[in-house]
Chains A and B, each alone.
Chain A
Amino acid sequence: MNGLAYPILSTLIFLPVLGAAVILFIGRNQERLTKWAALAVSIAVFVLSIPLFTDFNRMTPLMQFTESHAWIPSWNITYFLGVDGISVLFILLSTLITVLCVLISWNSIKTKVKEFYIAVLVMEGAMIGVFSALDFFLFYLFWEAMLIPMYLLIGVWGGPNRVYAAIKFFLYTLVGSVLMLVGIIVLYSYAGHTFNILELMTKTYPYRMQFWLFWAFFAAFAVKVPMFPVHTWLPDAHTEAPTAGSVILAAVLIKMGAYGFLRFSLPLFPDASKAMAVPMLTLSVIAIIYGAVVCLAQTDLKRLIAYSSVSHMGFVTLGIFALNIQGLEGGILQMINHGVVTGALFLSVGIIYDRTHSRQISDYGGLATVFPLYAAFFMVFTLASIGLPGLNGFVGEFLIILGGFTASKWAGVLAATGIIIGAAYMLWLYQRVFFLETNQKLVGLQAMELREVITLLPMIILVFWIGIYPDTFLSFMHPSVQNLLERLNTGGQEVTLAGKIAEIIK
C-alpha cells in the first residue's frame, strides 16, 4: 500500500518525539542550540511529510500509506495507521504549522526554553497521531496524550490569567473525552471486540445505540470544535496561550473536533447523524451568529480572533451536517482555510505583541504608517477571513452556504448574515489597529525581521493558492467524501465499498 521506502506515518509521529528526547539532553544554558535543534526537527518532519502530498492517490477512497502491527493482542488492538482524503491535509497542516510555531517563538519564549520546544514537538507527534490513527484505542491515546503538552503550553508560557485558562481547557476537553471513551468501549463490546475503525464502519448498529453513542461522541467533539454552548473554554485558552499555543490551538487542535465528526460520527452512526442534523444545524447557526456578534464587542485582539473562530467553526459544522457533497467538501476545505487564516492572524498578533506587549485594541492605531509591510500581510489575512473572492475563505464559505442552503434554506440564509457581521468586525478591527491617528507609543517600533516574514509567507501563498485554484486540495477529498456520503445514504446498511476496504486491509 505504500510505495515509500520508510513507514511515513510512524516516522512523522515519532521523529518529533525523538527530537524532543534529544533536546532533553541539551544543556539548559544552550538556548541557541535548543532552538536550532527544534527548528531542524520540525523542518525535517515537514519535508518528510511532503510525499503525503505528492504521492497521494487522489482516485481512491481507500486508506493509503497504511501500517498495521499487532500491539495489544489481549484486547485485539493493533497499531494501525493510514490516511485518506479527509485526513491527509490535516497532517500536512500540522507539520507546516509546527515549523512556523518554532519560528515565531524564537525570541518571545524566554523562560524554560528547553521545555517549551519539547512540549511543541511532542504536541506535533500527538497531533499527527490523531489524524492518522485507524484504531480507536490508538486514536484515544493520541487524543488524550495531546492534552498534556497543551496544558503545559498554556499554563507555563501563557498570559496573566494562564492557570485558569489551562485548567479550564483541560477539564472541558477531558470531560468530553471520557464520555467518548465509554462510547468507544460500548462500541467495542457490541461489534465483536475490535477497535479497528474500518471494521467498525462495516457494521450496522441499532438506532437506540446509535443515538446514545452519537451524543457520547458529540460530547468529545463538540467541546473540541468548539460548538455553542460548550465553547467557553476557547476564548480563555486562545487568549492566554503563548503565540505558538494559540496557533496550534486555532490551526490544528480545534479541527480535531470537526474531523471526529467526519471520521467517526457520520460513518458509524449514519441514522443518528441524519436524525440529529436539525439540532446540529441549529447549533451551528447559533455559533456563527453569536460568535460574530460577540466579536463586535471585544477589546482584546486575541480574544476577538478567538471568538471569530467560534463563528468560523460554526460554518464548518454547518457544512458537515448539511450532509451533502458541497457542504462536506466545503466544511473540510474551510477547516484548512481556518487553520491557515486564523493561524496566520495569531502569528501576526504574536509579532506585534512581542514589540508592544499589549493585546488591547485601544493601544494601537495608525499602525499602517509605522509598520507598512506588516499592515499588508494583515490586510490579506483579514480579507481572507472575511471571504473575499480570490482568497481562500471565499471558496470554503461559498461551498458551505451552498450545501447549507440545499439542506435547509433557513440555515443557508442565516449563515450568510454571519459573513456580513464577519466583514464588519474584521474591517472594524483593521481600521482601529492600522488606520486612525497614529498612537505615539508605536512610533519607532522595530521593523519586521526576516524570520517573521518567512513565518508569514507560507500562509500568504496558501491563502492565494486555495483561493485561486482550490481544486488542488478539493481533488484530495472527492473520492473519500463520496464514499462517506454513500455510507450515509445507505443508512446503517452494509456498505459494499467499506466492506471491501476492510477486506483489503485484512
Chain B
Amino acid sequence: MKILTEMPDVTALMPEIVMTCLALVLLMLDLFIRRKEITALLAIVIAAVVGFFLTGSSGTAFSGMFISDGYSSFFKLIFLVSLVLSVLISIRYIKIESVNFGEYYSLMLFSTLGMMLMASAGDIIVLYLGLELMALSLYVLAGFLRHDTKSNEASLKYFLLGAFASAFLLYGTSMIYGLTGTTNLKAIAHYLAANGVAHNPAVMLSVILFVVAFGFKIAAAPFHMWAPDVYEGAPTSVTAFMSVGPKAAGFAVFGRVFLTAFGGLQVDWAGILIPLAILTMAVGNILAISQTNIKRMLAYSSIAHAGYALIGLIAGGGNGVASMMNYLFIYAFMNIGAFGVVIMLRTEGFKGEEITDYEGLAKSHPLAAALMLVFMFSLTGIPPTAGFVGKFYLFMAAVAEGYTWLALVAVIFSAISAYFYLRIVMYMYMKEPKAEVALSTSAPHGIALAVATCAVLLIGVLPSGIIELARAAVAGF
C-alpha cells in the first residue's frame, strides 16, 4: 500500500501513457499483421482512444513538470487530427512507393507522442524530451523511401540541422539554468521577476537561443533552409504530416515558454519576433512564386503560414494566442487537404510533383481539381473558406494590440500569395491537359479529403464553435 500512496498522481498524463503503451503494442503486433491497412486502422483506433482519454485529463503531474490544461489539450487535438488525416492519406501512397511497412505508422504515433509531450511541458527538460522524440521519429520518416536518394538526403539534412537546433535549445537552457537554478518554466518566471534580473544580457541571449531553436521547428526564416529540401525529398504523406503537426508543436512550446517563463519580457521578445515574422512571410511568399515543384511550393507556403501564425504570438494576450491556435487548427485541414490532392497524382511510374502536371486537371478529374481549388483559395485566405477566418482572427488580434502596421504587412503578403496559389488553379482550369494523368484513389483517402474539405468550408461559414474552443483553451493558461 505504501507504494500506491507514494505513486504520483498521473491522471494528467493518462493520454500519453495510453499512447505509449498502445503504440508499443502496435509495433509488436505489426509482426503478425500481413495486411498493413489493418495496422493503419489500428493506428487510427489508437488516436481515437487517446482522444477519449484526452477529454478526462487535466491538472499537473510531477510537481509541475507536466501540465495538462486547455492550451495543451487544444494542441493535442490538432496533433491527433493531423495524425489521423495523415494516416488516411498514407495507406495507398506508401504501397505505391513500395515502402508498405508497419513501422511507418508506429513512427507516426511516436512522433505524435513527442508533440503531445511538448505541448504539455511545464519544464524545459520535458520539452526537450518531447522534442527529441518527435524529431527522431521524423528523421526516420523523412528518409523512409530507402531507395530514393532525395529522401535519404532529406533525412540527413533534417537530422543534421535538427541536431544543430537542439544544441541551441540546450545551450539556451543551460544559460537560463545557470542564472535561475531551475528548468521549470513557472519557477523561471518567478525567479526573473523576484530578483530583477529580467534584463540581464544572459536572459536575452537565452531568449534568442530559444527563438533560434523553436524558429527551426516552425520553419521560420532565416531558420527555414531545411524545409524546401526536406519537404521535397520526404515521402509526400510524411511531408503533409510534417508540415502541420511538428509546426503546431513548435508553436505550442513557443507560446508555453515565452508566455510562461518569459512572460514579463514580452516587449523584448516581441521585438525579436516581429522582424522574424515579416522576414518569414516575405521569404515564404516571394520564393514560392518561382517554384516549379508543387511540394517545394507548398514548403515555401508553409514557411509563409508560420509567419502569419507568429503574428498571433506577437500580439499576445488571450486573443492573440487563441488566434494563433485557431489558425494552426485550420491550417491542419487545408494543408493536409492540399497534400492529399498532391498525393493522388502519384501513381505507379508517375511522380506527379511538377506544377505543370496539373495542366487541365479540371477536365480529366473535375472533383480532384475542385477540391484543390477549395484548398488553394483557403490557403490564400479568400472567404468563404476557413483560411479567411483564420487570418481574420489573427489580424483582429494584431490590430487590437496596436500592431495595425503589422497586419497591413501581412495582408499585402497574403495578396502576393494569391499569385502562386492561383497559378495552380490556373493550370487546372485554364489549360488543356497535355498528357493523360491518372489518379490513385482509395476509400480512406476519400474520407480524409472529404473531412478536410468539409472542415475548411464549414469553419469558413460557421467559425463560432472553433473560436470559442480556442478561447476557452486559452482562458486557463
> Which residues of A come within 8 Å of B, CB atoms?
71-75, 112, 115, 137, 140-141, 144-145, 147-148, 151-152, 155-156, 162-163, 166-167, 170-171, 174-175, 178-179, 181-182, 185-186, 188-189
Given A75-B396, A174-B415, A179-B408, the answer on whether A167 and B383 have CB atoms closer than 8 Å is no
Question: Is the beta-carbon distance between B471 and A178 smaller than 8 angstroms?
Answer: no
**Residue in B399, B404, B464 whose CB lies within 8 Å of A73:** B464
B464 lies within 8 A of A74 (CB): yes
A170 and B384 form a contact (CB under 8 A): no
Contacts of A156 in B (CB 8 A): 429-430
By the criterion CB–CB under 8 Å, are A163 and B412 in contact?
A: no
Q: How far is the CA of A179 from the CA of B429 in the complex (A)?
A: 28
Which residues of chain A have C-beta atoms less than 8 A from B407's C-beta? 182, 185
B429 touches A155 (CB 8 A): yes
Question: Given A74-B464, A148-B377, are A178 and B396 neighbors across the interface (CB < 8 Å)?
Answer: no
Starting from the known contacts A137-B392, A189-B396, 5 additional A-B residue pairs (CB-CB under 8 Å) come to: A74-B467, A141-B384, A155-B429, A163-B430, A174-B418
Chain B neighbourhood of A140, CB < 8 A? 383
Closest to A158 in B: B430
Is A144's CB under 8 angstroms from B383's CB?
yes
* Contacting residue for B468 out of A74, A145, A152, A189, CB 8 A: A74
Asked whether any CB of chain A lies closer than 8 Å to the CB of B463, the reply is yes
Verify B411–A179 contact, CB threshold 8 A: yes
Contact check, B415 vs A175: say whether CB atoms are below 8 A apart. yes
Would you give the 0/1 interface string for B265-287, flagging 1 where the beta carbon is closer than 8 Å to chain A? Answer: 00000000000000000000000
Contact B422 A182 (CB under 8 A): no
Indicate if the CB atoms of A175 and B383 lie closer than 8 Å. Answer: no
Q: In the complex, are the beta carbons of A167 and B382 less than 8 A apart? A: no
Interface residues of B (CB under 8 A from A): 362-363, 366, 377, 382-384, 388, 392, 395-396, 399-400, 404, 407-408, 411-412, 414-415, 418-419, 422, 425-426, 429-430, 462-464, 467-468, 471
Overall SS of chain A's interface: helix
Identify 5 residue pairs between A and B in the complex whose beta-carbon atoms are under 8 Å apart, listed by A's number. Answer: A75-B467, A148-B382, A178-B411, A181-B411, A185-B392
Which single member of A74, A145, A152 contacts B382 (CB below 8 Å)?
Answer: A145
A residues less than 8 Å from B415 (CB atoms): 171, 174-175, 178
Is A171 touching B418 in the complex (CB atoms < 8 A)?
A: yes
Bound state CA distance, A144 and B414, in angstroms?
A: 13
- CA of A137 to CA of B425 in the docked complex: distance in angstroms? 26
> For the complex, what is the distance from the CA of A256 to the CA of B414, rounded to whole Å?
23
Within 8 Å by CB of A144, from B382, B404, B464, lies B382
Chain A, Cβ-Cβ closest to B419: A171
Cβ contacts under 8 Å, A170 to chain B: 418, 422
Closest partner residue, chain A, to B399 (CB atom): A185
Q: Are A182 and B408 in contact (CB under 8 A)?
A: yes
Say yes or no: B463 contacts A182, CB within 8 Å: no
Provide the bound-state CA to CA distance between A357 and B311, in Å: 51
CA of A484 to CA of B430, assembled, Å: 44
Question: Residue of B at shortest CB range from A216?
Answer: B408
Complex Cα spacing A73 to B464, Å: 7
> A-B pairs with the 4 shortest C-beta distances?
A178-B411, A141-B383, A74-B467, A185-B399
A31 to B15, CA, bound (A): 55
What is the CB-to-nearest-CB distance from A313 to chain B, in angstroms, rounded to a whole number?
A: 23
Q: Please, how many angstroms separate the alpha-carbon atoms of A174 and B366 in the complex?
A: 26
Give the distance in Å from the alpha carbon of A112 to the alpha carbon of B369 in the complex: 13
> If A72-B464, A75-B467 touch, does A167 touch B399 (CB 8 Å cutoff)?
no
Quick one: given A72-B467, A156-B430, A162-B430, are A182 and B382 in contact (CB under 8 Å)?
no
User: A181's contact among B366, B384, B395, by CB below 8 Å, is which?
Assistant: B395
Using Cβ atoms and an 8 Å threshold, which residues of chain A touch B399?
Answer: 182, 185-186, 188-189
Chain A residue at minimum C-beta to C-beta distance from B383: A141
- In contact, A152 and B467 (Cβ under 8 angstroms): no
Instruction: State in angstroms the CA–CA spacing of A353 and B471 once bound together.
Output: 57
Which B residues touch A185, using CB under 8 A? Answer: 392, 395-396, 399, 407
Contact B400 A189 (CB under 8 A): yes
In the complex, the answer to whether B414 meets A178 with C-beta atoms within 8 Å is yes
State whether B463 touches A145 (Cβ < 8 A). Answer: no
Question: Which residues on the A side are within 8 Å of B392 (C-beta)?
Answer: 137, 181, 185
A15 to B419, CA, bound (A): 32
CA distance A156 to B431 in the complex (A): 8
- Residues in B with CB closer than 8 Å to A74 are 463-464, 467-468, 471
Q: How far is the CB of A160 from chain B (nearest CB, A)?
A: 12
In the bound complex, how far is the Cα of B400 from the Cα of A189, in angstroms?
6
Residues of the A chain whose Cβ atoms lie less than 8 Å from the Cβ of B395? 181-182, 185
Q: Which residues of B contact A182 (CB under 8 A)?
A: 395, 399, 404, 407-408, 411
CB of B41, distance to nearest CB on chain A (Å): 32
- How far is B463's CA from A163's CA once the two chains are assembled, in angstroms? 33
